[in-house]
Amino acid sequence: MAHNFKSDVVVDWCPGCGDFGILTSITQALTEMNLGGEDVVAVSGIGCSGKTPHYLNIAGVHTLHGRAIPFATGVKLANPNLKVILPSGDGDLLSIGAGHFVAEGRRNTGLTIVLFDNAVYGLTKGQAAPTMALGEKTKSLARENIFGKVNPIALALSSGYSFVARGFSFDMKQLKGLIKMALNHKGSAVIDVLQPCPTYNDVNTMDWYRERVYRLEDEPSWDPVVTKDNADSAAMKFQQAYQKALEWGEKIPTGLFYQNKTIPSFTERLSQFVPNYLTNPPATQVVFNKDHYTVVDPEKTFSDKIID
């Protein structure tokens, strides 16, 4: 029987919240991938999105504000066999956690980052998040937003993520597909998910998005994937993705912007230096014998420190 990925914890998001579509897309993607509950770990930060691991029937950790990425990187590097998904918010990933977001692009560890993008800090009552446009005035703000807006797609591309996509929480079919692709991708993936916050963001509403979003995959010539066989097209595909990243207004593209399958993942890079890393990673290594003493021979390992 397929594992039930939905936990029995009561979901306390507001009615009409875009988070529901993301949660359903995640559980459907995991079910369709025929994974077991122990194969996947969810790691989140703080905020409404941060509660997601509790709503999933997989191992999960709801960490500190902004720290989902390094936490998840530790999980993945200690046990590269695990699939690690990060349901986290725009404030979490792009403000307090922005340094980690950039660093993870350089590492390309193999995380699946699902960026809950509603342009506000929901759980602290609607302050402007880094994806809110300059001059925006939502009902929860005392005055219009005086910060500029970060572009998550452009930032992810610039940081080196090898899978960059955008979903819309009311297009669960597309989003589920993107999550499955991301979980199967060997490098790190960012899926920027546009989602309305019905309580605090009365500008970027469900209808506002519905009028604007369109799917990139509906354009017949759209081909964002770099493989070994077409590696020479990487620069062109990167530029094309960047151009699409800048498209925002009357039309907002969703779907896969860029995927580069030729960039080695961090776990592959580590395996060049750490013996048997991929077959026998830290999480499965035996560290002591039957008498509970170390299996390491310190004299041989640290022979350069010995005076002979």
CB-based contact 218:254 (threshold 8 Å):
no
Binding residues with other proteins: total (CB under 8 A): 66
Query: Could you write out the DSSP letters of every residue in 43-64?
Result: EE-SSTGGGHHHHBSSEEEE--
Is 103 one of the binding residues for other proteins (CB under 8 A)?
A: yes
Residues between 58 and 97 with contacts to other proteins, criterion CB under 8 A? 58-64, 67, 69-79, 81-82
129 vs 120: CA distance, rounded Å: 5
Per CB under 8 A, the list member of 2, 14, 235, 288 interacting with other proteins is: 288
Q: How far is CA 141 from the centre of its chain?
A: 28
Give the strand pairing for 252-260 and 225-226. parallel
- Three-state DSSP at 257 gives strand
CB of 183 to other proteins, least distance (A): 15
CB of 49 to other proteins, least distance (A): 13
At position 101, the amino acid (one-letter code) is: F
Residues between 255 and 284 with contacts to other proteins, criterion CB under 8 A? 270, 273-277, 280-283
- 56 token code pair: 């999933």
CB of 11 to other proteins, least distance (A): 12
Is 4 one of the binding residues for other proteins (CB under 8 A)?
A: no
- Three-state DSSP at 85 gives strand
Per CB under 8 A, the list member of 18, 21, 47, 53 interacting with other proteins is: 53
Per CB under 8 A, the list member of 34, 221, 272, 289 interacting with other proteins is: 289
36 vs 176: CA distance, rounded Å: 17
**With respect to other proteins, which residue has the nearer C-beta, 78 or 231?**
78
Residue 94 DSSP one-character state: I
**With respect to other proteins, which residue has the nearer C-beta, 80 or 167?**
80
**With respect to other proteins, which residue has the nearer C-beta, 74 or 148?**
74
Per CB under 8 A, the list member of 146, 236, 278, 287 interacting with other proteins is: 287
The CA radius of gyration of the chain, in Å to the nearest whole number, is 21
25 vs 237: CA distance, rounded Å: 27
Only one of the segments 16-24, 54-62, 188-196, 205-213 lies at the binding site for other proteins (rule: CB under 8 A); that segment is 54-62
43 vs 63: CA distance, rounded Å: 7
- Chain positions contacting other proteins, by CB under 8 A: 9, 37-39, 41, 43, 46, 51, 53-54, 57-64, 67, 69-79, 81-82, 99-100, 102-103, 270, 273-277, 280-283, 285-289, 291-302, 305-307
